[in-house]
Structure 1
């Protein structure tokens, strides 16, 4: 059996990116950060960790992989993340009825905020 436990993002500024993702997701450090590596875990849920690897990587668009992050209140979360330094990404191919907003963190790692106010996992930690 396999289980995704951690998703690794390459970053340039580890302390700044750790602050962003900890605040964005309400995650905490699993172990003390190293100079080039930190694993952030959910404060109180059984969802995957985010590991930040301070290793320069060329940005490719469109990215081969991105995060889908579910939100109970999508508009409020997009505003909050923008205040933290994220940016909304406009894409001409996005359907008018899309349930997601494309964003990128302060270093350009892309993620989507998906409107899921009725997701059953909110109550059981999934």
Structure 2
């Protein structure tokens, strides 16, 4: 048994100045932004959302700008297998998460647990 809800919306930004993009989305959505503390995440900015709401992450990318979803899970491998059974396919593993592709062609990611309330609040899968 594992649990998995929507973790965050990711705004992929193909532009040279990520702080400017964060400033725009911060103003548009009324959420302050911040840099992430991990140096490996220097290409990301986080908008601060209300507790219990999915996060909003901006990341600098080389592909065209788009928005994608992240699903968090208490068991990444079990969630990836469940999604594969629904027709998704693995595209690439990045650190400890998977980039997936839905049968509709949309890319999304499956991440390890991000929120403390996940064991109580995430959808429970057999």
**What TM-score range do you get, normalising by the shorter chain?**
0.3 to 0.5
Which protein has greater RCO, CA pairs closer than 8 Å, 6+ apart?
A: 2
In the superposition, the TM-score normalised over structure 1's length comes to 0.42
Which is strand-richer, 1 or 2? Answer: 2
